[in-house]
Structure 1
Amino acid sequence: MSESFIYMTCADAGEAETIGRMLVETRLAACVNILPGMRSLYWWRGKVERAEEVVLIAKTRTDLVDELTGAVKAAHGYEVPCVVALPITGGNQDFLEWIGNETK
């Protein structure tokens, strides 16, 4: 079994809490970290935008990434939400097993 970190951004803490709770309650993620206070600069519709955002980092099984992505897209307020999967290539094996045990 392999695990992944899922990096996401949200417009505010309320949306981040809602999405994070949904992912954990449906067991699409074993854990979600919510990190407020990020400032983003990005291209959107031909111009550079600036926004205050909140980062979410979910820990999940790699085989759940597509389902998790679909759930986030359905719940998210952004037209094109950032949902990026990063493979976990090593670490505390007990923790990695815990991710597998706590996801569906």
Structure 2
Amino acid sequence: MAETPDTLLVLTNLPDGDSARALAAALVEQRLAACVNILAPCTSVYRWQSELETAAEVPLLIKTTRTRYAALEAAIRAHHPYELPEIVAVPVVLGLPGYLDWVAAETVPGT
């Protein structure tokens, strides 16, 4: 396994499958993400503007690099229908070296 502080796993949720697929495609096409996993719908429970809310959402797992994070966050915000979308980045501490190299290669702009 390789140590790689540059690889990130970014989490967000979309309100439906169509918006999740559109965002995933845009991120990969723009080389902001090497891969986006669109997970099965889930139920989220949260407090928003002092009210308890429950919503069906489609989670995304986005693989990118620290150097592409700012542009990735901007793209998510630009395409996301929520006023305040969840965008959380978790550093990948260890992983299969070939996979992590692939994530880095796929997120180089203009290649």
* TM-score normalised according to structure 1 size: 0.97
Q: How does 1:16-95 map to 2 (within 5 A)?
A: 16-95=20-99
User: 1:78 & 1:14 partners in 2: Cα distance?
Assistant: 15
1:47 maps to a residue whose letter is E
| Paired positions, count | 104
Following TM superposition, the consecutive aligned residue runs of length 4 or more in structure 1 with deviations greater than 4 angstroms are none
1:71 maps to a residue whose letter is A
Q: CA RMSD in A?
A: 0.9
Q: CA deviation at 1:63?
A: 1.1
Q: CA deviation at 1:36?
A: 2.2
Gaps of 5+ in 2: none
Gaps of 5+ in 1: none
**How many percent identity over aligned positions?**
38
For residue 60 of structure 1, give the secondary structure of its aligned residue in structure 2.
Answer: strand
For residue 71 of structure 2, give the secondary structure of its aligned residue in structure 1.
Answer: helix
* TM-score normalised according to structure 2 size: 0.91
